[in-house]
Amino acid sequence: MKDQIAKYTAKLGADRSALPGAIAFAAQDDLLITDGAPQLAELAGATLSRLNALALVAARPALPFAELLIARAGADETGIVPQDTETRTFLHDIPFLRQKDLAEDAPGRIARLLSHRKGIIVEGVGIVAVGAITVEQAYINYSSVFHATFVKYLQDVLRDGFRVPGEEAALELLRRDWLKPLTDDGLAFVPELSDDREEILAEVERVGRYTVERGLVDSFFGNISARAGELIYISQTAASLDELAGCIDPVPTDNSSTTGITASSELLAHRKIYEATGARVILHGHPKFAVIMSMICEKQGCSIRDCWKECPEVRHLDATPVVAGEIGAGGLAKRVPPVIGATGGAVVYGHGVFTIGDAGFGAAFSLMVAVENYCREEYFRRLDGRR
């Protein structure tokens, strides 16, 4: 477990979701171990020892959005409800603890909240997340909370403006330091994929790594596939896109084998997209600004309340269509295929971006970058316009 802790400590630093030096893990086998920043490690250990779970991470997010959400919340509120579809589906809501709640028995208070949610925000500490059965799971839950708070905070600020001290500075930190120019510069792609199994596996693996390295996914979720004749090679469910070796399922298009039962939950969407467009490859990620912008709707007097699953409209971000739909067997598999052919890309409300390519992953990747860049610029254009 020590190697797992080292691995995911490094990942939290590399994806810049946590401040290096302010990350701690605890894990328990027959013994409890802790590692990382001493104070956080002590808290992590004391909290995990109260839980029937294997691992826990406590870390300070690299951006203060989670705590700003607490500061902006009403005095009687005890949690936030994430707006993006993935976290909404898997986390439901994110409880928080204020500094004043921690006066006595902080680990006990934290453990009590973690006894029914996978991740929480603790004022003055950061994000604390639990992994029921693996260290990786604690990392995933941390990342999901980070992603959800990032999206919700920027959404709220655009809608309601700054409300508490420190928000200007936080946005400055985001724009000046945290956000890097997003490009596909320096990435190499096979221009025209053949049907060769080894070539496809290697390319899918490599492109998966690119999407993580360039920050197009949250934690590492998303999915990738390539079609070769009667087979779809698709990343497995719960697979880390930067570690896809051995985690790519070949699925026959005629469903003559069920080995693909472990394939991504978006297998159906991929299959339908191939059927509708004749594409060779599909890329799906959760770039943050596309997620945020997809949820901004100007329509007045609309009667639909669950926009993320019910909205029947095709809206647009620049030229890219935006549709609603739940993940998995829910709805996006119906709504994305008819619209994605027009530009080669589609955004799913509060969820992420699908792009396709006719020959190789190059076009799909650069389109995803372009969509996210457009959304990023548009977000700040609107935010600046508001001020």
Decide if residue 267 touches other proteins (CB under 8 A).
yes
CA dihedral 181, 226, 291, 213 (to 10 degrees): -30
Those residues whose C-beta lies under 8 Å from the C-beta of residue 66, and which sit 6 or more positions away, are: 96, 121, 126, 127, 145, 146, 149, 153
Question: Which stretch, 5-13, 51-59, 225-233, 349-357, contacts other proteins (CB under 8 A)?
Answer: 51-59
Q: Which amino acid is at 278?
A: G
Going by their DSSP bridges, the two strands 345-348 and 320-323 should be labelled as parallel
Site for other proteins in 220-259 (CB under 8 A): 236-239, 251, 255-259
- 127-156 residues in contact with other proteins (CB under 8 A) are 131-134, 136-137, 140
- HSE-up of residue 182 (Cα within 13 Å, Cβ side): 28
**Member of 260, 285, 337, 362 binding other proteins (CB under 8 A):** 260
Q: How far is the CB of 303 from Zn ion (least distance, A)?
A: 27
Q: DSSP class of residue 177?
A: I
- Read off the tokens for 291: 């997620």
Q: How far is CA 185 from CA 188, 193, 258, 325, in A?
A: 9, 20, 38, 32
**Nearest residue (CB) to Zn ion, 67 versus 84:** 84
Give the closest residue to 220 by CA, choosing from 264, 257, 182: 264
Identity of the residue, 217 or 251, whose beta carbon is nearer to other proteins in the bound complex: 251
By beta-carbon proximity to Zn ion, the closer residue of 22 and 375 is 375
Q: What are the helix (H) ranges across 65-194?
A: 65-72, 85-91, 106-114, 135-160, 167-173
198 binds other proteins (CB under 8 A): no
261, 319, 377, 386: residue in contact with other proteins (rule CB under 8 A): 261
Establish if 194 lies at the interface with other proteins (CB under 8 A): no
> Between residues 4 and 89, which has the closer beta carbon with respect to Zn ion?
89
By the rule CB under 8 A, 271 interacts with other proteins: yes
Question: In the complex, which residues of this chain contact other proteins (CB under 8 A)?
Answer: 1, 27-30, 51-54, 89-90, 92, 111, 115-118, 131-134, 136-137, 140, 236-239, 251, 255-265, 267-268, 271, 326-330
